[in-house]
Structure 1
Amino acid sequence: MTLSITLIIIIFTALISITSFGRPDQIDKLSFWPYMIHERNQWYRFLTGGFVHNDYMHLIFNMLTLWFFGQAMEQIYAVVFGSKIYFLLLYVLGLVLPQVSTYFRNRENFGYRAIGASGAVSAVLFSIVIFEPWYTIYPFGLIPIPAVIFAVLYLGYSWYMSKRGMDNIGHDVHFWGAVLGLVFPIVLKPELFKIFIAKLMSPSF
């Protein structure tokens, strides 16, 4: 019996995050730090920043979301695209691409650094919208809401909060991670867009 890619990612992320708690030096070495990337060419930070988290709550929230949706998406990717490697590619791209705009905005800002797998987790979560737009999602385990409606609300909120810049949450990373999750399957298989539209026009609750 082989471990799922999702479970391997969760275990690896949990080990790195937990062993970094209370160790600012370790977090500094791994965090997404645009200034260090720009000044010292530490490009690995685009990846490693996604394997460390602020605390247990931050880690658990991201990994629970990945657990709930990752395994299903992993199987869908295996069936639709013929290999789970595309799911892994989605996750890796989700760690890197959503942070590109943040990098260019903060590459001369010594004080800015970020950690967490939110961009990749958002990419995994939002991929489900393309395959099952009317799938029911329970944000925070509370209110049932169709995936496509949740996607619109989430994107709008993330875009708005990113423009305001009123807190320390990486709303732009959430936004671009979600966009990646929506676009990636269609780039791999363009005919999925027609299937998505057909399902979107036939709501199932």
Structure 2
Amino acid sequence: MYNLGLVTIVIIAANVMMSFKGFSDRGFFEKYKFNVGSIKAGEQIRMLSSGFLHADVTHLLFNMFTLYFFAGSVVSVLGSFKFIVIYFASLIFGNLLSLYFHKDEPWYSAIGASGAVTGILYAAILLQPDMSLYMFFIPIPIPGYVFGIGYLLYSIYGMKNKVGNIGHDAHFGGAIGGYVVTLIMMPSLFQTDLGYIALLAIPIVILFVLHKTGKLN
């Protein structure tokens, strides 16, 4: 049975309220968005608050619909508290990776719940690796683990080639956060789904190797 959980509704409501506040109040938006220079100057609250701001209604709806579709899988298996831990750990980890890759760009800014939402998506894939995803432009179901691997590989491509006005590094960091925290919370997956765990680790290893060899930039 699909269990969205009250906590998910609260998180979606918080995203909606803060995002609409940001839409109408530019000062509020600028004060709480992710900005490398401001964070390095001591405004760490932006590491958290930026995850509840969005560029526009389309950006907000995409993230919240994605969260809606995958949150229930995580809440049903791990419960609301662990869901919250994964959500916020993924949000912070995504922003930490962005901060790391853009540490010498004080002007770099970003907003959105994508890192947190991607972490929940990857947690759901780990917990239910045989799930199938339906994309509106692909007429056949896609296995969850195939989507996960493909998405992270695309994120690496986006980071390397600076594709679009998208925080690919935050997406990737959020996915890693969801992946790691879920495995810490449910180590039994190493006995039941080791093959899927190994497959989902491939893009993470590729990112590490590319970074170490200087081929990511």
Query: Taking structure 1 as the reference length, what is the TM-score of the superposition?
Result: 0.86
Report the RMSD for the aligned CA atoms in angstroms.
1.9
Aligned mates of 2:98, 2:63 — CA distance in 1: 20
- Kindly, what percent of the aligned residue pairs are identical? 33
Q: Does 1:186 align with 2:186?
A: no
One-letter amino acid matched to 1:53: H
In the aligned structure 2, how far is the partner of 1:102 from the partner of 1:197? Answer: 29
Show the counterpart of 1:51: 52
Give 1:105 deviation, angstroms. 3.4
Aligned to 1:64: 65
Q: What's the TM-score, normalizing by structure 2?
A: 0.82
Offset at residue 101 of structure 1 (A): 2.5
Report the Cα distance in structure 2 between the residues aligned to 1:140 and 1:115, rounded to whole angstroms.
26
Distance, in Å, in 1 between the alignment partners of 2:194 and 2:58 is 37
Q: Which moved more, 1:4-13 or 1:100-109?
A: 100-109
Residues 22, 108 of structure 1: alpha-carbon distance in 2 compared, 3 angstrom cutoff = farther
Residues 140-165 of structure 1: CA deviation (Å, up to 9, x unaligned) = 57542110110111111111111111
User: Counterparts in 2 of 1:68-87, with a 5 A limit?
Assistant: 68-78=69-79, 84-87=80-83
1:160 matched residue in structure 2: 157
Q: 1:8 to 1:141 in 2, by over 3 A?
A: farther
| Aligned with residue 10 of structure 1, among 9, 12, 22 | 12
1:196 aligns with 2:193: yes
SS at match of 1:21: helix
Could you tell me which runs of 5 or more consecutive residues in structure 2 were left unpaired when the two chains were aligned: 198-217
Cα distance in 2, alignment partners of residues 190 and 181 from structure 1: 14
Q: Could you tell me whether the CA contact under 8 Å between 1:37 and 1:107 is conserved in 2?
A: no
Instruction: Say if 1:34 and 1:113, in contact at 8 Å, map to a contact too.
Output: yes
What's the counterpart of residue 26 of structure 1? 28
**Distance in 2 (alpha carbons) for counterparts of 1:31 and 1:141:** 32
Q: Which residue of structure 1 lines up, in the alignment, with residue 171 of structure 2?
A: 174
Q: Which runs of 5+ in 1 are unaligned?
A: 79-83, 201-205
CA deviation map 1:128-187 (0-9, x unaligned): 121111101123575421101101111111111111113220111111211222221211
Inter-partner Cα distance in structure 1 for 2:195 and 2:104: 46
Q: Which whole-Å CA distance do the structure 2 matches of 1:194 and 1:43 have between them? A: 38
Aligned residues: 192
The 2-side partners of 1:139 and 1:32 are apart by: 30
| 8 A contact 2:89–2:178 mirrored in 1 | no
